[in-house]
Chain A
Amino acid sequence: MQAFFHLMRTDLRRLLKTPSVPLLWLALPIGLSVIEYGAFGQIGSTPSGLPKGTLLLVDQDHSVGAGFFVQALQREPMSDFMEVVKSDTTESYEKKLTNNDASAVLVVPSGFQDSILAGGRVSLTYIPNPRQEIRPKMIDASLRTFLEIGNRFLHEARDALALLRPRTEADAAPSRTDVLMMTGAFYDAGQRFDKMGELQNLDIKVQRPARKSGSVATSGDAVNFFAYFLPGLLLFSLLMVAQGFERRQFVLRERGLARRITASPVPTGVVLAAHAGGVLCAALVTGGVILALGKLFFHIQLRQPAVIAAALVGFALYAVGLMKALYGAARTKRAAEALGSVVVLLSTLIGGGFAPIEIYSTGVRPFASATPVGCASTSLVNAIVHGQSFAETGAYVGGTWLWALALCTLGLTLSWRAHARR
């Protein structure tokens, strides 16, 4: 036991002699966390729960009517879906769109107010930004609903407006009969508007699946989307740390350190276990630091700590076993690194390390969740994001541990063989 702790301590001390290495291992997940939080941290904080688009409004009419129209777009509920920015008509809106300054352009043509008062048709031009996909569609849908309501009002008031129109152009004052007819028409329109007043109750409630335990991870009132990404980054970092450690060990092996240790009376099992213990400690410390940073700086609640701890330890063991297997099987450092890169990349890609499994198509999800990274990432997402307990997500935690045991057995066997070779 003394030899075990001595070797483990020596390994860690050797690592800390070059502090830039562990700092670099931490810099990768922390740096990427900051960027991803910047990108997705605010999603969910808008009333619609989705990012707002910018609508560039080109008013070529400059009339009172066009002004009212623009103001209506800038008020709730439209302001929940878009930010309206008025643009000078002389500016090239095409350039603004290609520069990604707006999600879409809406052109109110000159003669807008006159056409409406004259009972004619008028067309607004909507130009979506071809470089964007989501926001232009959302703005388009909101605008069409808004215009539908406006058109309904205009439709109901059409008789009254038709009577009013000639009076605005006539030189003489209206007669008693004209006034009576107009007021009658507006009264009738008012009666119909009564029904339209009910439009304030127009709403379609959205019913979502009930969450089994707790609620979704939130930051303030908003859903914390970053909570979906943190587990992937965490798992990727553990793999990187384990690979970094094993790479250093391989170099030491090439320099003859393993041979010198073999000459000592310490059993091979203790040597290998001590090294694996050192890697495990470093991986767990890295995992702990990332989770702590997630909680402190990115407001992620670490619910179900037992599930998180079990998944973290299980995956750290898997990472240790995997790297032991890869570097134990390899004859050269170059071969080990090439193989390690392939395995890390593929397993992280498929297992939801770079994008949460929940956004994969339903056909791919079961396969992705069964991979080692998939099991661990699903356990962590279920615990952190959905607050699921051991009973609910235990299958994935169990899967992580099964992978860990299999890879640790394989890794230690191959390392034993490599150690014995020397």
Chain B
Amino acid sequence: MRGVDWPGAVHVARNDLRLMFRDRGTVFWSFVGPFLFVLFFGFLFRDNGAADKTIVHIENQDTSAALAHAMSVLLKDEDLVVKDAVGNPDSIAGFVLVIPAGSADTLAAGKMPHLVLRTSETDPTPREQTLRAVLIRSLMASFLGLTPADVRGDLDEAAIRQRVKFEPTVRLETKTLPHAGPTLGFQHTIPAYLVMFLLMTLMTSSAEILIAERRAGQLQRAQVSSLGSREILFGKFLSRFSFAWLQIIVMIGMGLAVFGVKMGAHPEALFAALVAFALCATGLGLLFATLFNHSDKAGGVGSLLVMGMAALGGCWWPLEIVPTWMRKIAFFLPTGWGYDALNRVMALNATLPQIATHLAVLLGIAAITLPLSIRRLAQRT
């Protein structure tokens, strides 16, 4: 940056930052709004972990307790919380396994009893699907393992296990890839809303300020002073890039201090991803500001674009639940690349080479948008 009057550029940047901080709306949407979004959606979609075990109430309508007892033992072995349905079973919220009358006789006759899973949910849920698979396994084990004499007798837990369990030929061993933690709750919302609100500020509030200055002729007036257009344009870039970093520091600090979010094992990769995304967002914000003559329109279109890009880029909901074609769209957007890079670093402990493509794309966008926006801004002032 030879030939740039640094104190002049810093003066422009400081003035812009002052304007941004004076606008309560900008401050709210840059720091308070993200906190509220992170808090709300983080709690709504948080991972409850092992503490949140599935609870099943067993309602035994049969005269024999054998099948209910066997199911209870097997379900407990599958790490479920099993309770007896006491009182009015219809009033129990959650899952109730109903063992109909005559089930033991049906089982003794070599026929499959028809158990019912009652749920308070009106639509299928992943938890219900998983529970149903466990119930089917346990019912099958009871059906094949228990003899007619067993279902009419009174077996203890050890005897039930002895009857129904056997050494499987084919086992399923779960191997976990090294990662920092689940990408749910705050581990998702911190990087997701960092990406969204950083872009939102740069494409709405800061773009509005620039357009208002241009319309009021303030930029032209500034050129008459000792500051050259180079200093002004560099100052504009510096203010937006600095503001982006303030947002990053607040969001990351909030994630670490308030929500206990893991930042991954490679701080250099996290730093690189944040720098690349901040540059990309600054470039996009500056270029966007040159496309409009009215600040209100820029604000409206900016909000719409950022919300659309955030939703498509995986910032609103995990991309695992959307169709494949939508997952592909995410990688045509800066939000998709930005969120994916941060998610890999923070949740999967990705190293710098592992996010090299992401960095190249984000820096590539910055390399196109920054010179273009500076050129357009220079032309229009």
Interface residues of A (CB under 8 A from B): 20-21, 24, 27-28, 31-32, 35-36, 38-40, 42-44, 48-51, 81, 94, 97-98, 100, 103, 116, 119-135, 137-138, 140-145, 147-152, 154-155, 194-196, 198-199, 201-209, 211, 216, 223, 247, 334-335, 337-338, 341-342, 345-346, 349-350, 355, 359-360, 362, 386
Q: What is the distance, in angstroms, from B36's C-beta to the closest C-beta of chain A?
A: 7
For residue B321, which residue of chain A has the nearest CB?
A: A51
The answer for the CA separation of A360 and B45 in the assembled complex, in Å, is 9
How far apart are the CA atoms of A42 and B323 in the complex, in Å? 8
What are 26 A-B contacts defined by CB distance under 8 Å?
A24-B300, A24-B304, A28-B303, A32-B307, A32-B308, A38-B325, A39-B317, A39-B321, A39-B323, A42-B323, A48-B129, A50-B126, A119-B169, A122-B170, A122-B171, A127-B174, A128-B174, A130-B179, A202-B139, A204-B116, A206-B117, A206-B118, A206-B124, A207-B118, A247-B296, A342-B28
A140 contacts across to B, CB distance below 8 A = 172, 174
Within the assembled complex, what's the spacing in Å between the Cα atoms of A120 and B144?
22
* Closest chain B CB from A285 CB (angstroms): 18
A-B contacts counted at CB < 8 A amount to 244
Interface residues of B in 171-205 (CB under 8 A from A): 171-177, 179, 182-184
Q: Report how far A359 CA is from B43 CA in the complex, Å.
A: 12
Residues on A with C-beta less than 8 A from B303 are: 28
Chain B window 23-64, contacts with chain A (Cβ cutoff 8 Å), 1 for yes, 0 for no: 111001100110011001100100100000000000000000
Among the stretches B246-254, B274-282, B343-351, the one at the interface with A is: B343-351
B33 touches A341 (CB 8 A): yes
Contact B171 A201 (CB under 8 A): no
Interface residues in B287-346 (C-beta closer than 8 Å to A): 296-297, 300-301, 303-304, 307-308, 311-312, 317-323, 325-327, 343-344
List residues of B whose CB falls within 8 A of some A CB. Answer: 23-25, 28-29, 32-33, 36-37, 40-41, 44, 47, 93, 98, 110-112, 114-126, 128-130, 132-137, 139-141, 143-144, 166-177, 179, 182-184, 296-297, 300-301, 303-304, 307-308, 311-312, 317-323, 325-327, 343-344, 347-348, 350, 354
Q: Which residues of B contact A195 (CB under 8 A)?
A: 110, 143-144
Q: Which residue of B lies closest to A355 (CB)?
A: B44
B171/A345 in contact, CB under 8 A? no
**Which chain A residue shows the least CB distance to B330?**
A100
Which of B28, B169, B173, B317 sits near A125, CB closer than 8 Å? B173
Query: Which 7 pairs across A and B sit closest by C-beta, in order of nearness?
Result: A141-B133, A338-B24, A49-B124, A130-B179, A151-B168, A132-B320, A201-B112
A205 — nearest CB in chain B belongs to which residue?
A: B116
Q: Is the CB–CB distance between B174 and A28 below 8 Å?
A: no
Residues of B within 8 A of A144 (CB): 133, 137, 172
**CB within 8 A of B343: which of A48, A131, A143, A360?**
A131
Residues of B within 8 A of A194 (CB): 110
Which residue of the partner chain A has the closest CB to B180?
A130
Contact A346 B124 (CB under 8 A): no
- Report B367 CB to chain A, min CB distance, Å: 25
CA distance A199 to B41 in the complex (A): 43
A152 touches B183 (CB 8 A): no
Q: How far is the CA of A216 from the CA of B122 in the complex (A)?
A: 9
**Cα distance, A272 to B125, chains bound together (Å):** 50
- When distances are taken between beta carbons in the complex, the residues of chain A under 8 Å from B25 are 334, 337-338, 341
A35, B311: Cβ atoms under 8 Å? Answer: yes
